[in-house]
Amino acid sequence: MLWWKIQRLKSKDPKIRLAIVQEMAAYGGRSALSQVAEALKDEDTEVRAAAAKGLGRLRDEQALAPLLSALTDRKYEVRLAATQALRELGDPRAIDALFHVLRDESHLVRWHAAGALSALGWRPRSDTDFILRSVAMGQHEAAASYGSNSVDVLIQALEDLSCPKRNEIAIALGKTGESRAVKPLEAALKDNDSHVRVAAVEGLSHLGVPESADALLRSLADTDSRVRAAAIEALGRMGDVRIVEPIANSLIRDESWDVRKLAVEALGRIRVERVTDLLCQALNDHDHDVRQTAAVSLGQVPDPRSIGPLVLALKDENSSVRQAAKASLRQIDRQWELSEGARLVIPQLEAAVNHREYWVAQSAADTLAKINDMRQRELENSAFNDPARQRTTRAIAILSDTLRDIDRDLRQAAAEALGRIVDDRVVAPLVSALDDRDEWVGRAAALALNHLNWVPAPDDNRRAEKLKTLMYKS
């Protein structure tokens, strides 16, 4: 009986009032509409929300006015129910009111309002319309593409602590490129949700505003390693030299390997003297990715002081570290094998030759061989470039050419002169002169070779006999 249900709507028990509203909305028909609409004024939130849902199910145009009024209820649960009910009601007259709901403080209400508007055939007609709908539907990056016009709407959405996509909103704010986004993003660096803090760092990084560096520096002490990593990466891209001291004090020893790796990468972009020492220190990190990154970064900071540590990295147990060290050494000094830094670490390389790890021992041996070979060639080149040797070289060339002169006296004199030059390079032309068509030239070549203590190969019987004959005749 309707009158009895109306009486029970006055009960002090909100559960009874809730049950009656739900029952009247389900079975009361149009005769119950006014009573259900009246329940929108109930002091209990659940009762009001149930009344809004019930009016939607009644699908009566007389429900429009009370539902539009419910869109301003102080509780988002009621506003949400009213929004859903208006979609069910399907009355286009609700479009204007629902459009204003796109600015509601609750992301759920906004999302359902956008859905209701689409169902009623509404389409955006201005940039503001597009922005409001995009944010309401969680398409924050699309909203950010409108730049300055989207900032206020995105800030409001970021301040909705119940929104599950606040991290996406923070990133989108950064992509607006607007300085007005700096303050809310800096505030988000203190958010309780670490995902939001990481996103706030990324947002500030996108903005690239120098004045945000102080806030990012504070994030280097964040309790979450992902926030520290993001802050290091952002500051590294800025090339802020103030990052060096925090890295030196703690980040190079951070418990998270990816934080240490990013710290090393950031150092590689900064040109101050302290960086070389820190990067050389990172070559001893227990994580091979960090060591590899340190080796690569040292190549970007061409400092001769890093040659020794990089040479030692050539015996690293990990091949990627060895390859990175090799490449960086060539970037710093094309002839690093001859450097003082390489010379100083030779004892450590020699000790590593006996290391129990095969690749460490083998790599140390290879590096030592490379250094020794390069130094030997350098000695030979030095000798080759000696003025006295250059004069001897020219003399040998002239006298060797003279051995082919048409004048036999000149050929004989050249053979005798070559015999007085103690140099292995004179042997070949003198051996050829043994077969000269003139006997006296041949004898001169034989005497010269004897003076140089030259002996034919054991199997060279012809030359041995020739030398014996000429020496006997002489």
Decide if pLDDT at 474 tops 70. no
Residue partners of 467: CB distance under 8 A and separation at least 6 = 434, 446, 449, 450, 456
| Range in 123-132, 384-393, 422-431 with the lowest mean pLDDT | 384-393
Token output for 21:
């509203």
What is the rounded average pLDDT for all residues in the chain? 88
Q: What is the pLDDT of residue 380?
A: 60
- pLDDT, average across residues 323-352: 90
Q: What pLDDT was estimated at residue 29?
A: 67
Residue 167 has pLDDT above 90, yes or no: yes
Query: What is the structure's pLDDT at 452?
Result: 81
Structure tokens of 27? Answer: 């079975």
Q: Is the pLDDT of residue 133 over 70?
A: yes
Residues 167-181: what's their mean pLDDT? Answer: 92
Confidence of residue 301 (pLDDT cuts 50, 70, 90): confident
Question: How is domain 124-238 classified at the CATH fold level?
Answer: Leucine-rich Repeat Variant (1.25.10)
Higher confidence at residue 372 or residue 198?
198
d(CA 348, CA 44) in angstroms, rounded, equals 80
Question: What is the distance between the alpha carbons of residues 435 and 320, in angstroms, rounded to a whole number?
Answer: 60
pLDDT at residue 129, rounded to an integer: 94
CA distance 130 to 117: 12
Provide the CA 153 distance to its chain's centre, in angstroms: 32
Residue % of the chain over a pLDDT of 90: 46
Mean per-residue pLDDT for 57-80?
93
Spatial contact of 307 and 342, defined as CB atoms under 8 Å apart: yes
Among 134-148, 188-202, 318-332, 377-391, the minimum mean pLDDT is found in: 377-391
User: In sequence order, what DSSP letters do the residues of 419-465 get, joined into one string?
Assistant: TTS--GGGHHHHHHHTT-SSHHHHHHHHHHHHHTT----TT-HHHHH
- CATH 1.25.10.10 maps onto the chain at 1-122, 124-238, 271-385, 397-473
- Provide mean pLDDT across the span 219-246: 89
Q: Name every residue whose Cβ is closer than 8 Å to that of residue 359 and which is 6 or more positions away in sequence.
A: 317, 319
If one counts every other C-beta atom within 10 angstroms of the C-beta of residue 118, the result is 13
pLDDT of residue 382: 56
pLDDT over 70 (residue 465): yes
Give percent of the chain above pLDDT 70.
94
The predicted pLDDT at position 84 comes to 96
Asked whether the predicted pLDDT for residue 110 surpasses 90, the reply is: yes
DSSP 294-327: HHHHHHHS--GGGHHHHHHHTT-SSHHHHHHHHH
Mean pLDDT of 219-234: 92
CA-to-CA distance for 153 and 265, rounded, in angstroms?
36
* Bigger pLDDT: 473 vs 127: 127
201 confidence band (pLDDT: 50, 70, 90): very high
Stronger pLDDT, 381 or 281, i.e. the higher one? 281
pLDDT the model gives residue 120: 94
Helix (H) or strand (E) holding 357: none
CATH class of 1-122: mainly alpha
Give 254's pLDDT tier (boundaries 50, 70, 90).
Answer: confident
In which band, very low, low, confident or very high, does the pLDDT at 13 lie, cut at 50, 70 and 90?
A: confident
C-alpha to C-alpha distance for 336 and 41, rounded to whole angstroms: 85
Give the residue from 27, 96, 89, 23 showing the smallest Cα distance to 62: 89
pLDDT in tens, 16-60: 888 877 887 777 667 778 888 888 998 999 989 999 999 998 888
Distance CA 373, CA 375 (A): 5
Q: Which residue has the tokens 């607006």?
A: 176
The CATH code that applies to domain 271-385 is 1.25.10.10
Integer Cα distance of 396 and 414 in angstroms: 9
Q: What is the pLDDT of residues 350-399, one digit of tens each?
A: 888 888 888 888 988 888 888 888 777 766 665 556 677 778 778 888 88
Q: Which residue has the higher pLDDT, 249 or 141?
A: 141
Choice among 203-217, 265-279, 377-391, 412-426 with the minimum mean pLDDT: 377-391
Q: Which amino acid is at 241?
A: V
- pLDDT value at 156 more than 70: yes
Average pLDDT of the segment spanning 410-433: 86
Question: What whole-number distance in Å separates Cα of residue 329 and Cα of residue 296?
Answer: 10
The superfamily CATH assigns to domain 397-473 is Leucine-rich Repeat Variant (1.25.10.10)
The tokens for 56 are 């939607």
* String of DSSP letters for 367-423: HHHHHHHHHHHHHHHHHHT-HHHHHHHHHHHHHHHHTT-S-HHHHHHHHHHHTTS--
**Over 80: is that where the pLDDT of 81 sits?**
yes
The pLDDT assigned to 394 comes to 83
Measured distance CA(222)–CA(463) in Å, rounded: 87
| Structural contact between residues 428 and 421, judged by C-beta atoms closer than 8 angstroms | no
- In angstroms, the CA 410 to CA 395 distance is 14
Spatial neighbors of 245 by CB under 8 A, at least 6 apart, are none
Q: Is the pLDDT of residue 433 over 90?
A: no
Per-residue model confidence (pLDDT) at position 155? 93
